[in-house]
Amino acid sequence: MAEAAFLHKAMEQGLVVSKPWGDNSRYDFVVDTGERLLRVQVKSTSCKCEGRYAVSAHGSDPKTGYSAEDIDFLVAHVSPEEAWYVIPVEAFAPHLHLWPYPRGEHAGQYEKYREAWELLGAGVRA
């Protein structure tokens, strides 16, 4: 569901998105900015704790987080709030969990990436 929601949202933003076949890569989508290809991992959460949501920043091995060798961006969908975060891997690696605060109870470190679709090239194409 999260991947379908991402695809819909990304297309609304005018992004060119491709889905790799198979489950043999650490990323879910490739976004073509017109200048480069970006590897995107999509996560979704509805798990809220103390005003923030838990987003995993790892794959099937919970001890190994994503790195710049694996992905360029993690896009997190906080489904109960209908909030999207477009986060460069450099902003969170090597952490295994991200904690966005979409309701603004705290100035969380990831709030600057909320709805930051321009980081993937949204609005660049005419």
The residue range of the domain holding 101 is 2-120
Total domains in the fold of the chain: 1
**Considering the domain boundaries, does residue 125 fall inside one?**
no
Are the C-beta atoms of 42 and 75 separated by less than 8 Å?
Answer: yes
**Considering the domain boundaries, does residue 21 fall inside one?**
yes
CATH code for the domain of 95: 3.40.1350.10
Phi/psi class of residue 114: alpha, beta or left (left: φ > 0; alpha: ψ in -120 to 50)? beta
Rounded to 5 degrees, φ, ψ at 12 are: -60, -30
pLDDT band for 101, please (50, 70, 90 cuts): confident
**Considering the domain boundaries, does residue 32 fall inside one?**
yes
Whether 24 shows a pLDDT value over 60: the answer reads yes
**Considering the domain boundaries, does residue 126 fall inside one?**
no
The rounded Cα 50 to chain-centroid distance in angstroms is: 22
Q: Per residue in 28-82, pLDDT tens? A: 999 999 899 999 999 999 988 887 899 999 988 889 999 999 999 999 999 999 9
